Amino acid sequence: MHNAYGCLARTASVSAAGRLRRLVASRAAIDARALAAFRIGLGSVVLLDLLLRLRNVRAFYTDYGVLPRETLYAEFPGFASVSIHALSGGLALQLLLFALAAALSVCLLVGYHSRLAALLSLVLLVSLQARNPVVLNAGDSLLRRLLLWSVLLPLGRAWSVDAARERGRDRALGPVASVATAGLLVQVVAVYAVNAALKLRGDAWLSGTAVRYVFSLDQFLRPLGELLAGYPALLTAADYAWVALLLASPLLLLTTGRVRGALAALLSVGHLGMLATMTLGVFPLVTVVALLVFQPAAVWNRLPDPQPRFDRLARRLPDLPRPSTPWALVRRGTRVLSVLLLAFVLVWNAAAVGVVQTPESAPVQPSERSWDMFAPEPLGTDGWYVAPATTTTGETVDAWNGGTVSYAKPPDVSETYPSARWRKYLATVALFDGRSLADEFAAYLCRDWNATHDSTLAQVSVVFVAQPTRLDGPEPIENRTLANHSCGR
């Protein structure tokens, strides 16, 4: 009798453990076609990011620009040490590395040696970001992490050149469940969960005024954003709706099927709304791509199969030799790396909001600024830049905006920032603890003006015109001089 009870207990325990494994596996699973769409989106965003950066490659990534390597090594030695782009201060190396990164992003997009393309894209992206950390935002951080997880995932299982080359082998298009898929899902949800926790620490998001404050920051707004800024009731509703979605984001890990897909779709709509109304660089697109992995099989079943196009492409591309690899060892190594990375993601994000404490001796400490987009409160100050300068003939000009010097608010503040990267850079210049960045910006203005104008600058100042954001009442401006630079030095 005792043995019978013991057998029943063991059977029940095994059954419960099996149900738990199946429950976890169903939540960690990603449809192979969702991974394919994620890969295509990721390759496209990396390529778009490169094209957008290319407009300012000389200003941001060479010694001619705003962050010469001497200053990079002095202010950000850790970043400088991992940047291939910092091996030269000239333009030629940057263009070569940009071209190589673009080619790899296309390989990732079409699924041509997907994992290798993801790995090399990650190396070059880390190098590029490290060359000028001043222009980075949360979208760059998330893009880097998504590429890291991609190296551990079978991105080429569907809709790819790799899939065309693997015909005849078992390449079912069903769900893929592993520690790596779980890690990718957790990584995406962590962005929203941490941001939600930080927003709850402030008052603006819970009072319904945060989005109104955001839409009073003219430096961010596109024309549609300027239009919507005149409808405070709509912005208040958007505030509460977005906070509700952020609070619901953990359900992306707890649900499956249509519920999970619907929540991911609503978050994507929110990000596309940001893209339409604000200049935030590639951040909204990165998050939309990340959310693709939560869409269930029912969504992909409705789409036509694009694999025949990849089959035709595979016949045109050379089939590079693949090393004879002990796949059992590779799978084991991938699993171990996935477990370690998942543990790191959980601890890092928990530490960022104070749930756990990291040792003070740790070489790198988590920062609440990891996913602090407009949290815990939106920016309290809007502003624009003026660079009053004197030429060698005594003429006074604005070396940043051109024309005569005026500190009055421009008709369109956002147009005074050439791109989202420039706005991020100049925001960092205004807040940087020390004068080196402002001094280097002033020196760049001298070099650039003298190279593109008939006149020559003798002296230039960098002035940030700060305007506190207020929902009611006047918004006085304050001129903050950040640097005075002699162009002859």
Q: How far apart are CA 208 and CA 358, in angstroms?
A: 34
Residue 54 counted as domain residue: yes
Q: Which two tokens mark 108?
A: 């990732």
Q: In this prediction, what percent of the chain has a pLDDT beyond 70?
A: 89
How far the first Cα of the chain sits from its last, in Å, is 95
Find out whether 282 and 274 touch, Cβ atoms under 8 Å.
no
| DSSP sequence for 153-217 | S-TTSSSSHHHHHTTTS----SEE-SHHHHHHHHHHHHHHHHHHHHHTTSSHHHHT-HHHHHTT-
Mean pLDDT of 457-468: 95
The residue from 370, 394, 411 where one domain ends is 370
Q: How far apart are CA 195 and CA 453, in angstroms?
A: 45
Ranking 68-77, 199-208, 277-286, 466-475 by mean pLDDT, the lowest is 466-475
pLDDT bin (cut points 50, 70, 90) of residue 368 is very low
> Within 249-316, where are the H helices?
251-254, 257-277, 283-291, 297-301, 307-316
The residue from 370, 401, 436 where one domain ends is 370
Model pLDDT for residues 114-157, shown as the tens digit of each residue: 999 999 999 999 999 999 999 999 999 999 999 999 999 999 99
**Is 320 a residue whose pLDDT tops 60?**
yes
What is the structure's pLDDT at 170? 47
List the one residue out of 104, 106, 68, 66 whose CA is nearest residue 85: 68
**Is 325 a residue whose pLDDT tops 70?**
no
What is the structure's pLDDT at 358? 63
Residue 227 and residue 154 share a domain? yes
Mean pLDDT of 178-195: 95
Mean pLDDT of 272-293: 96
Q: How far apart are CA 11 and CA 256, in angstroms?
A: 28
**Is 227 a residue whose pLDDT tops 70?**
yes
On average, the pLDDT of the chain sits at 89
pLDDT bin (cut points 50, 70, 90) of residue 6 is low
Residue 234 and residue 121 share a domain? yes
Find out whether 217 and 378 touch, Cβ atoms under 8 Å.
yes
Residue 25 counted as domain residue: no
List the one residue out of 385, 138, 122, 150 whose CA is nearest residue 281: 138
Residue 277 counted as domain residue: yes
pLDDT bin (cut points 50, 70, 90) of residue 70 is very high
| Domains: count for the chain | 2
Range of the domain at 268: 31-167+175-370
pTM score of the predicted model: 0.92
Residue 477 counted as domain residue: yes
- Give 318's Cβ-side CA count (13 Å radius): 3
Q: Which residues pair with 486 in a beta bridge?
A: 459
Find out whether 83 and 127 touch, Cβ atoms under 8 Å.
yes
**Residue 473 DSSP SS3:** coil
Find out whether 85 and 101 touch, Cβ atoms under 8 Å.
no
Residue 98 counted as domain residue: yes
Ranking 5-9, 91-95, 204-208, 258-262 by mean pLDDT, the lowest is 5-9
DSSP class of 66: S
pLDDT bin (cut points 50, 70, 90) of residue 14 is low
Residue 454 and residue 345 share a domain? no
What is the structure's pLDDT at 16? 63
The residue from 370, 390, 407 where one domain ends is 370
Q: How far apart are CA 485 and CA 483, in angstroms?
A: 6
Residue 442 and residue 421 share a domain? yes
Ranking 244-253, 261-270, 356-365, 460-469 by mean pLDDT, the lowest is 356-365
**Is 474 a residue whose pLDDT tops 90?**
no
Residue 71 and residue 47 share a domain? yes
Residue 398 and residue 351 share a domain? no
- Give, to the nearest 10 degrees, the angle between helix 138-150 and helix 114-131: 150
Burial class (CB in 10 A: 0-12, 13-18, 19+), 343: exposed
Residue 299 and residue 152 share a domain? yes
What is the structure's pLDDT at 364? 53
Residue 466 and residue 324 share a domain? no
Residue 388 and residue 361 share a domain? no
Residue 361 counted as domain residue: yes
Residue 244 and residue 133 share a domain? yes
Residue 10 counted as domain residue: no
Given the structure tokens 């952020």, which residue do they identify?
Answer: 246
Residue 319 counted as domain residue: yes
**Is 169 a residue whose pLDDT tops 70?**
no
**Is 380 a residue whose pLDDT tops 90?**
no
Residue 393 and residue 299 share a domain? no
Residue 413 and residue 480 share a domain? yes
